[in-house]
Amino acid sequence: MTKHSIAVIPGDGIGHEVTPAALEVLDAVGAAHGIEFSRTPLDWSCETYLREGAMMPDDGLERLRGHDAVLLGAVGFPGVADHVSLWGLLIPIRRAFRQYVNLRPVRVFDGIDSPLRDARGIDLVVVRENSEGEYSEIGGRMNRGFPDEMAVQQAVFTRTGVTRVVDYAFTLAGQRRGRVTSATKSNGIVHTLPFWDELVAERAASFPDVAWEQEHIDALAAKLVLRPGHFDVIVGSNLFGDILSDLAAAVGGSIGIAPSANLNPEREFPSMFEPVHGSAPDIVGRGIANPIGAIWSAALMLDHLGHPEAGRRVVAAIADVLANSDVRTPDLGGSASTQEFTEELIRRLKGAA
Ligand code: ATP
Ligand code: MG
């Protein structure tokens, strides 16, 4: 029996509906694979912020630190600005725990409609640099209110920061279909992105079995719509990765399906797993939230904790329900509740034993 300790932060809104579904699935697959999870539930959310003035307590990071992973539902609440949850919870966790890889797999499962006419063969992963790049606080505003008003924002690309995320992408591609596409714009951005390109080429030499290419972000975005089946692993800076992962998730059919992982690949600190969607205040409390994003995120957690077989089995069960039944939540055109979908998935997971 392998034991893992998981910090569980359901957060806000439908986070409280999809996180229990993911935990049920983890228990079911854990029982079949000899994995036991001890859970620390943490009531950290925008609602906590409204009550107590902070998303998490002062010693919040210390309390997370001893866990093997963090499972997050969603954070966000009507009237609470995005920067509260970003700076009050997500960014401190990503930074303190060196979660420099943001991983966003995208697949179009059989039985799911994609907005694209030809969505066959979409099975890709966006690897986004999660710690530096364009999202820096360096810069400033000048001459406010005057004709010469201006804003300057600097991007930070470091050899260490780029190399480690590029290495991660090539290693991942080596375990998949062996292709890396690097997002760049070195024809227009003349300092940081040529540096990015050089480092990608330099690291690529260490992965002779992985084919790689670079594409300018504009052409890459177009190709992601026109020929999505072409891609295996796409690696991009913080900004490019952010945009491409949302684009790719939309191609995947529903925001309720998309999973994500914030990884510390060295496992010095816990990594964090969360569905891409937010708290969905418009459907909260109705029991109809799609739990796939949360369940798939839990599968990414299984991979990261060294149980890829268990992770694969969870994803296979998602694919099985979608391809071979009409059980699905309303966002996918069905009439099943979160609970009904989860039960069907667990039934199939156990059946595949
Ligand atoms: P937040 O402020 O928390 O980011 P949001 O409203 O900006 O919330 P989402 O919560 O992602 O963003 O919701 C966007 C839309 O997608 C909403 O209409 C919501 O109901 C829908 N949606 C999001 N997640 C799911 C889900 N898991 N199942 C079904 N519908 C979802
Ligand atoms: Mg939002």
Return the ligand number nearest the Cα of 277: 1
Cα 4 to Cα 334: distance, rounded to the nearest angstrom: 35
pLDDT grade, residue 41 (50/70/90)? very high
> Do 114-252 and 1-100+258-353 have the same topology in CATH?
yes
Q: What is the DSSP letter of 331?
A: G
What burial letters (b/e) apply to 228-245, b meaning 16+ CB within 10 Å?
A: beebbbbbbbbbbbbbbb
Q: Where are the domains of the chain?
A: 1-100+258-353, 114-252
Tell me how far the alpha carbon of residue 307 lies from the centroid of ligand 1, in angstroms. Answer: 30
User: Closest ligand 1 atom, CA of 14?
Assistant: 27
- Report the nearest-CA residue for atom 4 of ligand 1: 278
Tell me how far the alpha carbon of residue 258 lies from the centroid of ligand 2, in angstroms. Answer: 14
The pLDDT assigned to 73 comes to 97
Residue 252 confidence (pLDDT) above 90: no
Beta bridge pairs of residue 123: 107
Question: Regarding the domain with residue range 1-100+258-353, which homologous superfamily does it belong to in the CATH classification?
Answer: Isopropylmalate Dehydrogenase (3.40.718.10)
Query: Residues 263-312: pLDDT tens digits?
Result: 999 999 999 999 999 999 999 999 999 999 999 999 999 999 999 999 99
Tell me how far the alpha carbon of residue 144 lies from the centroid of ligand 1, in angstroms. Answer: 36
The pLDDT assigned to 142 comes to 96
- Write out residues with Cβ below 6 Å of ligand 1: 14, 18, 74, 76, 255-256, 277-283, 289-290, 293, 329, 331
Question: What value does the mean pLDDT take over residues 147-151?
Answer: 97
Q: What is the ipTM of this complex?
A: 0.93
Residue with tokens 């620390």: 40
pLDDT grade, residue 251 (50/70/90)? confident
Question: Distance between alpha carbon 300 and the CA centroid of its chain, in Å?
Answer: 9
Beta strand extents in the chain (DSSP E only)? 2-11, 35-41, 69-74, 101-107, 123-129, 139-142, 150-153, 179-184, 211-216, 233-236, 259-263, 271-275
Return the ligand number nearest the Cα of 84: 1
Residue 353 confidence (pLDDT) above 60: no
The pLDDT assigned to 151 comes to 97
Query: Residues 31-40: pLDDT tens digits?
Result: 999 999 999 9
296 within 8 A of 318, measured Cβ to Cβ: yes
- Tokens found for residue 168: 């991660």
Beta strand extents in 258-304 (DSSP E only)? 259-263, 271-275
- Report the nearest-CA residue for atom 17 of ligand 1: 280
Residue 132 confidence (pLDDT) above 80: yes
Cα 106 to Cα 266: distance, rounded to the nearest angstrom: 24
Which of 245, 255, 276, 297 maximizes ligand 1 atoms within 8 Å of its Cβ, making it the mutation to test the pocket? Answer: 255
User: Closest ligand 1 atom, CA of 291?
Assistant: 27
Residues with a beta carbon under 5 angstroms from ion ligand 2: 278
The CATH number for 114-252, chosen from 1.20.140.10, 3.30.530.20, 3.40.190.10, 3.40.718.10, is: 3.40.718.10
The pLDDT assigned to 250 comes to 87
Average pLDDT along the chain: 95
Query: Residues 306-352: pLDDT tens digits?
Result: 999 999 999 999 999 999 999 999 999 999 999 999 999 999 999 86
The pLDDT assigned to 293 comes to 97
- Tokens found for residue 249: 């998730």
The pLDDT assigned to 352 comes to 66
Cβ-based neighbours of 175, under 8 Å, separated by 6 or more: none
> DSSP labels for 119-168?
-TT-EEEEEEE-SSBT----EEEESTTSTT-EEEE--B--HHHHHHHHHH
Q: What are phi and psi of 173, to 5 degrees?
A: -60, -35
232 within 8 A of 124, measured Cβ to Cβ: yes
The pLDDT assigned to 125 comes to 97
Q: 159-164: list long-range contacts, CB under 8 Å, 24+ apart.
A: 159/199, 161/100, 161/129, 161/131, 161/132, 161/133, 162/129, 162/195, 162/196, 162/199, 162/200, 163/199, 163/202, 163/203, 164/100, 164/265
